[in-house]
Amino acid sequence: MKHTSQASWTRPFPLLALLLLMAVLPTTQAAEGNIFNTVKQKLAAGEQVVGGTVSSSDIEIYCAMANSGFDFLWIEMQHSPLTFAEVAVMIRACPGPAIPFIRVPTDSEGDIQKATDIGALGIIVPMVDTVEKIENAITYAKFPPIGKRSQGGGQYGAIWGRDYRELANDNIMIVAMIENPAGVEIAGQIANMEHVDIVFAASSDIGSFSGYRQGDPQYEALISTIKDETLAAGKYLAGPSAWKGVRDGYTFFQAASDTRLIRLGAQQILGGSEPGMPRGIAPIEGQED
């Protein structure tokens, strides 16, 4: 099911219009079988997935990203002022085709349960340098008997279907970010945890914390440790999109942010080229998408 931006409807009276929108939007239905998380489906089929990073609360930007071809959206709540109320509106407006993944601010019960309650199918846990952090993520993202997530309220059922409670544990993915040498030391333990799906080698922060740059033997040794431990455990290996097609073994990629993509698009247009159009042909207004 393809979701398109509804933001233009909400400009005059945002809250009232959004409530009306939520009432009339159809519920996203689960795919056949127990797995409706298309990221999980693609990874299981041996495909690579790429997610654009979102840090803006603008619904039109979010929906443009959700419909641009990304497999998932990396909703950035660790390094942005985004609130759960804002992100709930964003996800409800355009729950797909790109699947919502949230990098949570912390591994706390409140942060993780709010993220799942508003519809995230991926929980990205930053700064995993203790086993406890990822244990917390599993505990609070998964319903019993796996975890201790309370059923509570939230819009997850309106987005993912009435049978969400029965299917959630099979569809919510846990991404562990290894960002410092302490995390590298326990990469094997993290990767071998039963409900960890993906281990992310955080290229920039590993360099920042270690003091080594990409290409340095010491840096590459840290990255290789994450890679070897993750693949040996049979889990999916993640990294920045710059590594796609360059480093083998990686299947889950974080791509550029919304603001960077706007800059890149502006630069292309200023250079005289309309994205997706033959040179010299202007797009028809209202049909740009």
Instruction: Report the range of poorest mean pLDDT among 120-124, 200-204, 268-272.
Output: 268-272
Radius of gyration of the chain (CA): 19
Tell me the average pLDDT of the chain: 86
Domain count, the chain: 1
Is residue 54 a part of any domain in this protein?
Answer: yes
Which residue range forms the structural domain that includes residue 92? 33-270
Is residue 20 a part of any domain in this protein?
Answer: no
Is residue 89 a part of any domain in this protein?
Answer: yes
Is residue 174 a part of any domain in this protein?
Answer: yes
Higher pLDDT, 4 or 78: 78
Query: pTM, whole model, 2 decimals?
Result: 0.82
pLDDT, tens digit (0-9, with 9 covering 90-100), for 65-122: 999 999 999 999 999 999 999 999 999 999 989 999 999 999 999 999 999 999 999 9
Task: Place 33 in a pLDDT band, splitting at 50, 70 and 90.
Answer: low
**SS3 of residue 199 by DSSP:** strand
Q: Give pLDDT, residue 8.
A: 35
Is residue 210 a part of any domain in this protein?
Answer: yes
- Which residue has 């740059």 as its token pair? 213
Joined tokens for residue 165 = 């409670």
Q: Give pLDDT, residue 46.
A: 97
Give which of 61, 58, 63, 98 is closest to 81, Cα–Cα: 58
Is residue 165 a part of any domain in this protein?
Answer: yes
Is residue 276 a part of any domain in this protein?
Answer: no
Is residue 25 a part of any domain in this protein?
Answer: no
Give which of 25, 30, 278 is closest to 170, Cα–Cα: 30
Give strand ranges (E) for 131-172: none
The domain that holds 137 is classified in CATH as: 3.20.20.60
pLDDT, tens digit (0-9, with 9 covering 90-100), for 244-270: 999 999 999 999 776 777 777 677 667
